[in-house]
Structure 1
Amino acid sequence: MFTFTTLFDAIPADLYILLTFSAGFTSFFTACFGIGGGVMLLGIMAQVLPPQLIIPLHSVVQLGSNGGRALMGFKHIDWYLIGTFFPGALLGALLGSLVLVALPPAILYLTIAAFILYSCWGPKLPPMALGKAGTFAAGTITTFISLFAGATGPLVAAFIKQLYVDRFRTVATFAMAMSLQHGVKVGVFEGIGVSLTAWWPLLLSMILSGGLGSWVGLKLLNRLTDKHFSGMFSVILSLLALRLLWQAYSQW
């Protein structure tokens, strides 16, 4: 079979196509239903890519995918929240780059799953948790964790879900927050010497495919109501939380 040996280390053509298609489909899923695509893509990439490159490569693809989605929904972004979330994300990335250790997976999964389930089905978070201090803390904690766990999108989404009813504001603000988070993560990985230069042909294909998937997904989002979107958003988040609980159980 023809392989892209001149671009990077012998990536088979079928694998190249699989990852490109997966980036498009998972971006479509996130744009349409608000969440889930990043975790789905991480799971696919974990099956076929070198372990030490999974999170750095995933970060670049998600930066492109979420960045495109944020541009498409630019007018709906809550810039007040972003202005508080981003400094927290920078602090989380700085702390993560200094620690560079793997957190206990079971505890990590249990904590994220518990917060997601509480945010979806429990009482609303207190005003303090949703204010400036809470948003800054969310940016710090989720970015720190994402350097080791990869996809903390469900955690950020669970936080943002507490703030908005409007589906367009939810999707656009979430996309912008994740763009910034993945952006600082890419900076950290570059800073510690993780070189992704040889992988850019594949990454570019995945980013372009993700942009197309986002565009189609946002078109479908127009056909949903805020009520239906909120319900599906909660269900999908809950399914992701159950997956995390299963992963925690498997780690014990």
Structure 2
Amino acid sequence: MTSLMIAALGLLMVATAFLSGLFGMAGGLILIGVLLALMPLPTAMVLHAITQMASNGWRALLWRAHIRWRPVANYLVGCAVALALWSLTRYVPDKPMALLMLGATPFMARLLPANIKPDPDRLWQGTVYGTICMGLMLMTGVSGPLLDTFFLGGDFGRREKVATKAMCQLVSHFTKLIYFGGIIDQAASLDPVLAGVAIAASMLGTTLARRILEAMTDQQFMAWSNRLITTIACYYIAYGGWLMVRTPVLAAFDKGGLQ
């Protein structure tokens, strides 16, 4: 990868880490979509994992006083279950399917009945959520929108939600790194320079977001999160759908037109 491309990706990572520092997930949604467009899926997943581990790890450190550790431990059990199950098949999704699922993820979370409010302090609920979210993470690269619903019954303020979610995401992305970097048959490797840029950029973007998050109200936080994530999700559904139909459509035209 050229120096110019590494620099461009570094700037993108600063911007996406800034968004994630504010809203907890939007930046990661944007970044994985760009990486999937530029790289093979396993490589994109590994780079995204390193970037998001740095971003979420730094965010968790900055907000460490607000982390609630019991939900994190419960969620960790579910991640371990999901990794064990996926390791049996070593499945790797193709790009169109990953993008479609990526776009559908926020809407899947919103389809949950309003009366479902899981208790993140209960082990079995944390295990179920961790298993489902980790499976989604290995399919699409992200699980933030669904993970948000994990905190509905726990009386979390925006600081506690961002901090505890950051710790859960750190665990998830580390598990994703293990899977795509070491378990699957076509395990990916990564340029150490690019990895270093990703870590530094993620920490910088997260730090820049802290003051703005402090100034936001809970109402502003929710309103802007929903608008931004809905826009991004709709784009990925359209893009993934186009990639899925593009090959047969082009093949049909090559044969003289659609039949």
- Distance (whole Å) between structure 2 residues aligned to residue 241 and residue 116 of structure 1: 12
- Any conservation in 1 of the 2:120–2:153 contact (CA below 8 Å)? no
Aligned to 1:92: 82
Deviations 1:131-160 (A, max 9, x none): 432221111111122223212222223433
Q: Does 1:199 align with 2:191?
A: yes
Q: In angstroms, what is the RMSD of aligned CA positions?
A: 2.7
- Any conservation in 1 of the 2:103–2:235 contact (CA below 8 Å)? no
Q: What is the deviation of 1:66? A: 0.9
Q: Which runs of 5+ in 1 are unaligned?
A: 1-10
- Any conservation in 1 of the 2:52–2:170 contact (CA below 8 Å)? yes
Higher alpha-carbon deviation: 238-247 or 134-143? 238-247
Q: Which runs of 5+ in 2 are unaligned?
A: 246-259
TM-score normalised by the chain length of structure 2:
0.81
- Any conservation in 1 of the 2:19–2:27 contact (CA below 8 Å)? yes
Q: Does 1:116 align with 2:106?
A: no
1:35 to 3, 19, 25: 25
| Amino-acid identity (%) | 24
Matched position secondary structure for 2:114: coil
Q: What is the deviation of 1:22? A: 1.0
- Count residues in correspondence: 239
Q: What is the deviation of 1:181? A: 0.6
Deviations 1:43-89 (A, max 9, x none): 12123223431112211211111111111111111111101001101
Higher alpha-carbon deviation: 143-152 or 207-216? 143-152
2:56 to 58, 61, 66: 66
Q: What is the deviation of 1:245? A: 4.3
- Any conservation in 2 of the 1:95–1:144 contact (CA below 8 Å)? no
- The aligned runs of 1:167-246 (5 Å cut-off) are 167-192=158-183, 194-196=187-189, 198-243=190-235, 245-246=237-238
- Distance (whole Å) between structure 1 residues aligned to residue 152 and residue 227 of structure 2: 12
Which protein has the larger Cα radius of gyration, Structure 1 or Structure 2? 2
- Distance (whole Å) between structure 2 residues aligned to residue 96 and residue 128 of structure 1: 26
